[in-house]
Amino acid sequence: MVIGPFLMIGLTVGISYVSANSASSSKQVAVISSSRSLRQAYLQQPTDNINAKITTTQAAEAAMKKNHLAGYLKLSESPQQVRADYHGSSRMASGLKAQTQNFLSQYQQTRNYQQAKLTTKQQRLMARTPVLQQHIAERAGTANLAKTISFWILVTMIYIILITYASIAAQEIASDKGTKIMEIIFSSTTATSYFVGKIGGILLVILTQIAIYLVGGWVAFQVAINNAALKPLITQNQSLIDAVLHNLLNLNLLYLFLGVIIYTILAAYSGAVVAKAEDASKAAQPVVMLGMFGFFATFPFQNNLDALLVKILSYVPFFSSYFMPMRIINGTVSGWEQAISLLILLVAIALFAGYIGSQYQRLMLQTDNRNFWQHLIHGWRRQS
């Protein structure tokens, strides 16, 4: 389970590499021309996916039949005009098409100037082109992208860890329900101690998993920056990577952990209120549903973090673990607001754990058929 994501990433990279390698030769295009100078002029451009070894139409068609070539470009020139004919099993790739059109225009223009016998001044005038300049605030663009990436990484991590461990906690506890081993345990220690110990054990497993992911991520990053192929990509996106890491390795990590704790406690409660051990598989459903609700509720608000509902939910336990990190990433929440939300979450966890701990023995030892709500109401009545 813990190494699952690593296996998935490894598998994806492996499949992509094999797929890219096998696909690369069939994407190539050959350039054929009876004019050696025209062909050389074309090949002097910085181009990808050009097979320069094939020089004849017959060889190109043979290679196409074997699926080693996507097509071939036949260049020809008459005294008036330069011409390119593309032969392929599908249309030219847009990049290659634009590049070829550019080459033909320049080549034709050069020939036109020569044939028009223009003076140098006239040639200079004719060479004037309009200016199109894009002015992009690169830092803001990177920051927005970093926010989006950070948001997705964080909510997905919360969701996956929460769903996984909520199911484990609920099933683990539900399967103990009504068993005599619980009587032996409760004759040896208090139900509250046992409950807190059980939740603590599950949380240590979760912490171990998060630690493995952090170490695994660091190792993968080290491998990537020492890899010749990936290093330029990382250097190019260094500011983006730094921004994403900054967004993840702060209070948000605590929100992730506390979110998982409160959902795990709820899952344990769900496990404890199932009617019998055989219902263990159903036990996690309410928690999974709530977790899914929180996860999907974040989607519409990604770009609307000023909405009142977002502000409210960022203080409500079970939802604050999704919504407050969104606001923190976006930088639209003050330190005080973060502290208040965190305090509410911590108090809720303590109260919730205390309440369930006090009910745990009764819930685990009884084997009646009351449902979740009946148990809850019964529990409250006993408290009052």
Q: Which residues are near other proteins by CB under 8 A? A: 179-181, 183-190, 361, 365
> Would you say how long the chain is, in residues?
384
Q: Least distance to other proteins from the beta carbon of 334, Å?
A: 45
Residue 182 beta carbon to other proteins: minimum distance, rounded to whole angstroms: 8
- Shortest approach of other proteins to residue 314 CB, angstroms? 40
**Shortest separation between residue 186's beta carbon and other proteins, angstroms:** 6
Asked whether 125 and 289 are in contact (CB, 8 A), the reply is no
Burial class (CB in 10 A: 0-12, 13-18, 19+), 320: buried
> How many C-beta atoms lie closer than 10 Å to residue 375's C-beta?
20
Instruction: Report how far residue 339's alpha carbon sits from residue 325's, in angstroms, rounded to the nearest whole number.
Output: 12
Output the smallest distance, CB 17 to other proteins, in A: 41
- Minimum CB distance to other proteins smaller for 122 or for 190: 190
Shortest Cβ 196–other proteins spacing (Å): 14
Nearer to other proteins, 277 or 297 (CB): 277
Q: Which residue, 107 or 186, has its beta carbon nearer to other proteins?
A: 186
Core vs surface per residue 192-217: b (16+ CB within 10 A) or e? bebbbebbeebbeebeebbeeeeeee
Provide the minimum distance between the beta carbon of 367 and other proteins in the complex, in angstroms, as a whole number. Answer: 12
- 162: closest CA among 38, 265, 264, 34? 264
- Shortest approach of other proteins to residue 266 CB, angstroms? 25
Q: Which residue number, 25 or 366, has a Cβ lying nearer to other proteins?
A: 366
Torsion sign over Cα 8, 14, 20, 26: negative
The kind and range of the H/E element at 30 are strand 29-33
| Rounded least distance, CB 183 to other proteins, Å | 5
Closer residue to other proteins in complex, CB, 148/179: 179
Cβ closest to other proteins, residue 48 vs residue 183: 183
Residue 184 or 229 having the CB closest to other proteins: 184
Q: What pairs with residue 33 in β-bridges?
A: 75
CA distances from 210 to 20, 117, 161, 215, 263 (A): 32, 73, 9, 9, 16
Q: Which residue type occupies 161?
A: I
In the bound complex, what is the minimum distance in angstroms from residue 362's beta carbon to other proteins?
Answer: 8
Answer whether 274's CB lies under 8 Å from 280's CB. Answer: yes
Instruction: Round the CA-based radius of gyration of the chain to a whole number and report it.
Output: 32
Residue among 59 and 185 whose Cβ is closer to other proteins: 185
Beta strands 71-77 and 82-88 are: antiparallel
Residue closer to other proteins by CB (options 190, 227) is 190
CB neighbour list of residue 120: distance below 8 Å, 6 or more residues apart: none
Q: Is the dihedral of CA 206, 199, 270, 347 positive or negative?
A: negative
DSSP 64-104: HHTTS-SEEEEEEE-SS-EEEEEEESSPPPHHHHHHHHHHH
Nearer to other proteins, 99 or 361 (CB): 361
